[in-house]
Amino acid sequence: MAQAFAVEVRAATKVFGNGAEGVVALDEVSAGIRQNEFFTLLGPSGCGKTTLLRLIAGFERPDSGEILLDGAAITALPPFKRPVNTVFQSYALFPHLSVAENVGFGLAMRKRPKAEIEAAVAEMLALVQLEGLAGRRTAQLSGGQQQRVALARALANHPKVLLLDEPLSALDFKLRKEMQLELKRLQRETGITFVFVTHDQEEAITMSDRLAVMSAGRVQQVGAPHEIYEAPVNRFVADFIGESNFLEARILEAAAGKLLCSLEGGQQLRVPGEGAQGEKVTLALRPEKIGLTPAARDGRDNGAFVGTISERIYQGTTSSYHIALAGGGRLVARDANREDGTAAFARGDMVAVALPVAALRVLRD
């Protein structure tokens, strides 16, 4: 018998409003979140990720579908009866209470013995590395420290699942990076299933064991970060996760898992994939997969295309090159800068552009 998911969502639909004015926030969404994993819901604003988190927490109920925890239905349970805690974007700390009182608040509400509360508070403050701040008011803490207090309070009840609703969005860039590592450490050390909501693609890729990319109330793809980055299932995922070049093409020949495709500029490429002759497809390619060398002559150059660099954007260790292909079409390529920090190519340079067929993905909307 298959092991139950920590959280399972089955065909959940949620509509806000009535009739023609109703807004479909979730459209028959299904997802399984494994035990002890860091799972991220990723997508643009309005895609339904926070609504899905609120359904798991119990703050909203689905119009149809089920929510299960460890294989048991919890759809009808109120939030306080679910072994789930939530860390909100605003942290929602009590300013009139000390750090220790904030961390122990949930246990105190459950009327746990004083000694148990004190032991749990000490354990949680050590876990989030705030041992010396137990007596301070939350207003005396930095943003990063306040977030750790919110995490410690949520973890003090030892929930089976911890839900995090964009908890890093209010932090500055450096602190945000530090807290990403901190959250990963906490998840690993506690063994609790984390469900994290963000619209930040880099954050999701950095922190997640697996992630679900959402759009328009639906899950577009679920997988490990490298699976979603390297093998997106459609154009939305390829465009939302990282940066991609999209080449419109038509299939000229299809046989044995190989497609001969003609680009809009007349160039031809043979790529792995399935399709039918005459079908229109989109070829996706990440900028860092493209190879650039000085062009030797016009037209094809050793199997590569030739183009002219119309723009160079310096990005520290790398530079991005906007390239106008000689046969029509545009690409963006990313290449490492030289050891002295200078770029390998300049605006106006002609370059041979190698498109590795193994890295090309055939997409359909």
pLDDT tens-digit series, residues 46-104: 999 999 999 999 999 999 999 999 999 999 999 999 999 999 888 788 889 999 999 99
Beta bridge partners of 98: 137
Q: Which letter, b or e, does each residue of 307-339 get, where b requires 16 or more Cβ atoms within 10 Å of its Cβ?
A: bebeebeeeeeebbbbbebbeebebbbbbeeee
Q: What is the tens place of the pLDDT at every residue in 309-323?
A: 999 999 989 999 999
CA distance 267 to 263: 5
Q: Is the pLDDT of residue 365 over 80?
A: no
Domains, in order of start, for the chain: 7-239 (3.40.50.300), 244-363 (no CATH)
Beta-carbon contacts of residue 93 (< 8 Å; ≥ 6 apart)? 102, 138, 146, 149, 150, 153
What is the predicted pLDDT for the residue at 265?
Answer: 79
What pLDDT does residue 304 have?
66
pLDDT at 3: 61
* pLDDT bracket for residue 300 (50, 70, 90): very low
pLDDT in tens, 192-223: 999 999 999 999 999 999 999 999 999 999 99
CA dihedral 283, 287, 293, 299 (to 10 degrees): 30
* Tokens (6 digits) for 142: 């930095």
User: What ranges in 128-260 are assigned the alpha helix state H?
Assistant: 143-156, 173-190, 201-207, 225-230, 235-240
Find residue 309's DSSP bridge partners: 323
Largest CA distance in the chain: 81
